[in-house]
Amino acid sequence: MASSENAHYLASNGIPEAGILEVRKKKMRIGRTGDVRQEVLRLVEHEGVFPRTKDHKLYEGAPHQLEDGSKVICGRGGWRGALLAVVTYNLNFDPGLSADFGKLSNAWPGAETLNPAFVQVGSRSAVSQHQLIAIAHKKFIIVADQDCRYIRIDCYDGQLSVRPARREELGHLLVLRAEKYLDTHDSLTWTWYTLKRLGLLSLWSSLLAERLQKLKHGPVAAQ
């Protein structure tokens, strides 16, 4: 059975804590107060269930996108996943809880996910970002702090567990994401060089090699 709390905030040390700020008047704000990029999500009913809040924090809910493309937080219903809020500028993971793969060029703090964040405020290539991540039941994400230390966060019935990420897990995630979404020279070459820095060029797929070759630049052969 799913836990009654499935909305979490990632503390600076890498430990998820229950409750996501800031909820007021049936709306949740993602991003720094006063920032014009701040996103506001309405909290709405779904199948007779409302998101659960207390003391201006969201404790239970589910992500939902309406037909007009707008995003809302609805009642959780039978969703077994979790919501995780990540604010990148103060992330400083406990070294015993995280993995250090050395300095990766153009690597940025925040969540590395297969699919885009449900809400992303600030560029992924920025020090300061606000993210709201939807993690499905039995799935995981990888998060980096300001010093390129990496953790893996797993979801099971709305609850989150944390352990040091493995470099192979990061490499596989980067390849799957590239195969699904990336089609520019810069993004594909960044993936190739990051795999090289991780010692994981064996993961570079023939699909990505062919895609990059068509762009007529950079490394083109599967390793």
Q: What is the pLDDT of residues 176-219, one digit of tens each?
A: 999 999 889 999 999 999 999 999 999 999 999 999 999 865 45
53 and 144 share one domain: yes
50 and 160 share one domain: yes
| pLDDT band at 3; cut points 50, 70, 90 | low
Here the tokens at position 182 are 């990336």
55 and 158 share one domain: yes
Does a structural domain hold residue 2?
no
Q: What is the residue range of 192's domain?
A: 169-214
Number of domains the chain is built from? 2
DSSP string, 49-117: BPPEEETTEEEE-EEEE-TTS-EEEE--TT---EEEEEEGGG----TTTSEE----TT--SEEE-SSPP
- Which of 124, 141, 165 finishes a domain? 165
pLDDT at 1 over 80: no
| pLDDT band at 76; cut points 50, 70, 90 | very high
pTM: 0.91
Average pLDDT rounded to a whole number, residues 13-35: 92
Per-residue pLDDT tens over the stretch 91-104 = 999 999 999 998 88
**In whole angstroms, what is the distance from residue 49 CA to residue 71 CA?**
17
Other residues' Cβ atoms within 10 Å of the Cβ of residue 125 = 10
